[in-house]
Amino acid sequence: MNGSDIIILGIESSCDDTSAAVLKNGEILSNIVAGQKVHEKYGGVVPELASRAHQQNIIPTVDTALKEAGISKNQLTAIAFTRGPGLLGSLIVGTGFAKSFALGLDIPLVEVNHMQGHILAHFIKNKEENYPKFPFICMTVSGGHTQLVLVRDYFDMKIIGQTIDDAAGEAFDKAAKILGLPYPGGPLIDKYAKEGNPEKFVFPVSNIGDFDFSFSGLKTSLLYFLKKETAKDSSFIEKNVADVCASYQHTIIKTLFKKLIKAAQQYHITDVAIAGGVSANSLLRSELFRIGQEQGWNTFIPEFQYCTDNAGMIAIAGHYKFLKGEFAGQDIAADARLKF
Ligand code: KG4
Ligand code: ZN
């Protein structure tokens, strides 16, 4: 350890995961995520329960992250936290904690936009030293967002397309709910789809705007399709769950790539990345590789633990903001609708 080391504590609490990470000179020393099982029985995140759980989890999560990293609080250079977007009550817990901890330690405080964090996760040090080159396009697909972002520099990002209704992750989760699967349903649809035929059932691929997406029609078409089929055969879902999941998943991924390819062509981009929880999806990953080879792209997917919500991505964004000297004051407040 020497005086010029930059050691960032990252704090993430935008939705239903309380996370703390320690990052030294761009390298992760620890990345702890405390999930919240309490939402499962409600079929979605209950905001009030999420804030209460963050309140309980935040101190032990930070404590574990520091211990696992072998770093004492006095060695920290700065504290980075998610200011938004997200659930306000959840964000307030992380923001309040980060502000008090930074004040107590008398070190800089750095605010991070959660969506920029997802994208900057690509710059967490990896063994191959393989990072996207600017300008690149990042398709950020999560439970709350679906965005095509033109990334010109670490904090020079422009949203060139986004969903006008449901996010891709929401399309997975809502379909899972219709199928009677537990929340969050994305990983389960992915699992069942592996055994199914993606061509068995045909669902509509939306076609709106230039690079925008829409997924609510797809979800509705699944609902009506299942209503019709279960009226004829009440065990239709049971018998066809794998084919339904495979066909539905195939439609989401096809919709996403249609716009991603168009955007990369229009902006003459060769480095293409994905980020967010849905980038854990196995078809999305294999299609990015296949289509990337076809299109001559260099493709980038973060390590699995940095795809879903985590504080490692907040710490790396904080690291680059720290280098720019962009610090937040004690008057900073959480912002549920934070833009960039
Ligand atoms: O980024 P994230 O952890 O939280 C948000 O900021 O939303 O993303 C969570 C979303 C959920 O909708 C979840 O169902 C989806 O990511 N997800 C998946 C998979 N793993 C997580 N969707 C499809 N396939 C997966 N394997
Ligand atoms: Zn997220």
Q: Find out if CATH 3.30.420.40 is the number for domain 131-302.
A: yes
Taking only the tens place, the pLDDT of each residue in 150-182 is: 999 999 999 999 999 999 999 999 999 999 998
Whole-number percent of the chain with pLDDT over 90: 90
Q: Using DSSP, state whether 296 is helix, strand or coil.
A: coil
pLDDT the model gives residue 1? 56
Pocket test of ligand 1: the residue of 31, 147, 178, 308 to mutate, having most ligand atoms within 8 Å of its CB, is 308
Whole-number percent of the chain with pLDDT over 70: 99
Identify the CATH assignment for 7-122+307-324 out of 3.40.50.970, 3.40.50.300, 3.40.640.10, 3.30.420.40.
Answer: 3.30.420.40
Taking only the tens place, the pLDDT of each residue in 15-51 is: 989 999 999 999 999 999 998 887 777 777 888 899 9
Mean pLDDT of the chain: 96
Indicate if the pLDDT at residue 308 is higher than 70. yes
Indicate if the pLDDT at residue 311 is higher than 60. yes
Measured distance CA(266)–CA(279) in Å, rounded = 23
Q: 175: closest CA among 282, 247, 275, 236?
A: 247
Q: Using DSSP, state whether 279 is helix, strand or coil.
A: helix
C-alpha 172 – ligand 1 centre gap (Å): 8
Measured distance CA(197)–CA(202) in Å, rounded = 11
Q: 18 forms bridges with which residues in the sheet?
A: 34
Give ligand 1 pocket residues (Cβ under 6 A). Answer: 15, 142-144, 169, 172-173, 184-187, 190, 276-278, 280-281, 308-309
Pocket test of ligand 1: the residue of 19, 142, 145 to mutate, having most ligand atoms within 8 Å of its CB, is 142
Q: 310: closest CA among 22, 49, 7, 40?
A: 22
Residue ID of nearest Cα to ligand 1 atom 20:
187
143 and 169 Cβ atoms separated by less than 8 Å: yes
Measured distance CA(34)–CA(94) in Å, rounded = 13
Residues in the chain: 340
pLDDT category, 207, cuts 50, 70, 90? Answer: confident
Measured distance CA(4)–CA(305) in Å, rounded = 28
pLDDT category, 2, cuts 50, 70, 90? Answer: low
**Sequence-ordered list of residues with C-beta below 8 angstroms from that of 328, at least 6 positions apart, any chain:** 83, 109, 110, 111
Indicate if the pLDDT at residue 102 is higher than 90. yes
Range(s) of the chain covered by CATH 3.30.420.40 = 7-122+307-324, 131-302
C-alpha 265 – ligand 2 centre gap (Å): 27
Q: What is the pTM assigned to this prediction?
A: 0.94
